[in-house]
Amino acid sequence: MGRFRSLALMLFFLSASFLLSAQGVVTGRVTDAVTGEPLSGAAVYVRPGLGTTTGYEGTYQLVLPPGAYLLHITFVGYRPEERRVEVAAGDTVVVDVILRPSEEVLSEVVVNADKFSQKLSDVNVSMTVVRPREVELDNPVALDGLLNKVSGVDILDGQPSIRGGSGYSYGAGSRVLVVVDGLPLLSGDAGDVKWDFLPLETLSQVEVIKGASSVLYGSSALNGVINLRTLTPGMRPSTYVRLYNGLYMKPRRRELVWWERPRWWAGASFAHSRRLGRGSLVAGGDLYRNTGYRQEEYARRGRLNGSVTLRPEKIRGLSLGASFNAMLVDKSDFFLWQDADSGAWKQAGVGVSPYRGYRLYVDPHVSYTTRRGAMHILRTRYFSVDNHMIEDPDKDNHFNSYTTEYRYQQKKGKLLFSAGLFEHYTTVFSRLYGNHRSNETALYGQLHGRVGERFSFTAGARWEIFSLDTFDVKQVPVFRAGVNYRLFEATHLRLSAGQGYRYPSVAEKFTATSLGALNIFPNPSLRPEEGWSAEAGVMQAFRAGKTEGFVDLSLFVSGYRDMIEFLFGMYLPEGVTRPSLKYVGFKALNVEKARISGVEVQGHIERREGPLTWSLQAGYLFLHPVDLNISDKKNNILKYRYRHSVKGAAEVGWRGWSTGTTLVYRSFMERVDSVFIDPFIGNLILPGYPDYRKNHTRGQVIVDLRAGYAFEKGVRVYLLCKNLFNREYMGRPGDLRPPRTLEMQFVMRL
């Protein structure tokens, strides 16, 4: 019997070898014609039912009987391609294909909240995409300056908010997760975003995902995600150089001017990308200096980043690589003004906090796509930040964080399954809030599918366990689901709902400090906050001759439980019964319930006719942010939110000339911490602010203007004027924003 089995097995393998040798193999790689990026999920087939899809690195493999075939290659958002191939028995034919993006606005391809490539019109959540071209037009020195002009996004003194989900919490914590190349990049101590550290020079695309996204992205994605993708080399080497400078003009109120010499900033950045055989190389850097328009405020930085990727020829589907970003910084931020009059741009002595330090992350990664199209992706990150406070070493802080994510993805017909394991470990060393360590472990899964040609759906769940020192928090599962339905050829309906959560940062739980009359107290018992969001939307595209565009309407609502807010009060230590001003200040507390609902409308239209091009994009957001703990409907608006905002941009080009304008309107911030408007205590913390607020109860329109000319050989020069009408406006209390600025930018692409 044993000999019979051995003989049967031998015959099976011999017959299998014969069948394989009697067939041929067509293999290759599919890439983007503009960026050179590999296209994952592209369909490669010779007829329906006989084909495959490309893996994570854009590779595919198709086994076919000998013969002549017409190979079809398609991908959402790209023009389809066809290739004729002759397949002989036992041969391997290599067919690399370059796909060109479709010119339709809604065909833009994004790596969205579902962590795979998809056409913008097919996603089931609201998204806004920011391209490097917009960096060139706006001339920002950091990404927050550009994102503040995106509909639905507000960044208040460095703290991001999407659709009013966040207010202002004194630099600690974020309900918006910032992701760079698939992994989170929030600081391990304060949970904030280091905006000046994000690599603008090697930016490929920014995708703003609106709504709770914790199922795939974890903690801090309670309010949404800002996803940054860095460059992948194209078919030809590319070099980018940007030189920029600016000058602060005098404000309308001359008494604000404290300087004798002009205040200015200047910078230079570069990026180079190229392919090296079966590998690739990207390198970039930035130098920047700002003398500041506010006294005792300045910034100097130097940033260097790069990535290397290798795809071994002997192991098809394997990709190895590593990237890094490193920066040295020397700066002093502005926190408290001296008074609302001549001292509004002068730093109160207790608020001066110059520091030096470094930021660094290193990202080794590996991916492998099997012959059957299954993708295995392993990404890791070491992230470290060190801040040395020059005048107050007791506030030094340092952290190291280690992140690992393994993700599996498999497509079967019209179903795409994703699953992953996430691990995030952080150690914090600080004299300000002590030494701490935290650990976050999660398991998630998601299914995406299509029914027919019009309907798609997504459903996913995540289970997470978090620990901070000896405090263990077990997170119950969170879920998300969404659908997208193409009602007509250019009409897409979407519906989505998801849950989110955020663990309080070390700074929120343990900071104990004071700045003059402003005290901040620790709260070690602070609990995680939880929430959910739901959205219904419709996207309508249109085309009339050479004019095309779209309009997008969203209705949304979000609910929060145990929302973390800094509240003012008297916090007596245990055993102390006698009140004193030293026990009066701010403390992070869990607010029981909050709800935010609203409407957002976005539109984009553009036209190309010979040498003349023009485009217009705009967005309007209405918010109704309610603190459900306050019964008085006239005073229950959540703090530090704007009910109404309008953001828009227009651009006209003719031959090499271009001109454009940007407009941002925000209504009056109806509610701030009541202590700041108290005639007695408010004037102790922010002298003059109570009266200043009474006299400034209207929203503001800020207009920027720009003009540029494109020379031959990829050289462009821009002149910009920001805050054209020199408006005086404020962010958080005591944060008077810049006056009119004049800027110049030189860009060269080779």
Give the range among 4-8, 572-576, 631-635, 720-724 with minimum mean pLDDT.
Answer: 4-8
State residue 51's pLDDT score.
79
Architecture of domain 106-749: Beta Barrel (2.40)
- Identify any residues that bridge with 743 across adjacent strands, giving them in sequence order: 246, 720
CA angle 280-138-649, nearest 5°?
A: 120
State residue 9's pLDDT score.
47
State residue 4's pLDDT score.
47
Encode pLDDT of 487-501 as tens digits.
Answer: 988 899 999 999 988
Residue 576: count of CB within 10 angstroms of its CB: 10
Encode pLDDT of 666-690 as tens digits.
Answer: 999 999 988 889 888 888 888 999 9
More confident residue, 411 or 202: 202
* Res 75 pLDDT > 50: yes
State residue 15's pLDDT score.
46
Joined tokens for residue 2:
């044993």
Which of 28-32, 544-548, 620-624 is most confident?
620-624
The percent of residues above 70 in pLDDT, for the chain, comes to 92
Encode pLDDT of 533-590 as tens digits.
Answer: 999 999 998 888 888 889 999 999 999 998 888 888 888 887 777 777 777 888 888 8
State residue 471's pLDDT score.
66
Going from the C-alpha of 702 to that of each of 72, 380, 540, 722, the distances in angstroms are 50, 41, 29, 8
More confident residue, 588 or 291: 291
State residue 17's pLDDT score.
44
Mean local confidence (pLDDT), 164-168: 86
pTM, to two decimals: 0.85
Give the range among 37-41, 162-166, 582-586, 619-623 with minimum mean pLDDT.
Answer: 37-41
Joined tokens for residue 416:
């795409």
Amino acid at 245: N
Three-state secondary-structure class, residue 329: strand
Q: For 534-598, what is the HEC assignment?
A: EEEEEEEEEEECCEEEEEEEEEEEEEEEEEEEEEEEECCCCCCCCCCHHHEEEEEEEEEEEEEEE
Give the range among 96-105, 469-478, 618-627 with minimum mean pLDDT.
Answer: 96-105
Average pLDDT value over all residues in the chain: 87
State residue 114's pLDDT score.
44
| pLDDT band, residue 173 (cuts 50/70/90) | confident
Query: Is 330 within 8 Å of 300 (Cβ atoms)?
Result: yes
* Domain coordinates in residue numbering, the chain: 23-102, 106-749
* Res 244 pLDDT > 90: yes
State residue 289's pLDDT score.
97
State residue 102's pLDDT score.
63
Looking at domain 23-102, does it have CATH number 2.60.40.1120? yes
The percent of residues above 90 in pLDDT, for the chain, comes to 47
Encode pLDDT of 204-227 as tens digits.
Answer: 889 899 887 878 888 888 888 999
Encode pLDDT of 254-270 as tens digits.
Answer: 999 999 999 999 999 99
More confident residue, 664 or 508: 664
Calpha distance 249→87 (Å, rounded) = 69
* Res 162 pLDDT > 50: yes
State residue 19's pLDDT score.
43
Per-residue b or e along 124-135, where b marks 16 or more CB atoms closer than 10 Å to that residue's CB: bbbbbbbebebb
Calpha distance 424→439 (Å, rounded) = 6
| pLDDT band, residue 748 (cuts 50/70/90) | very high
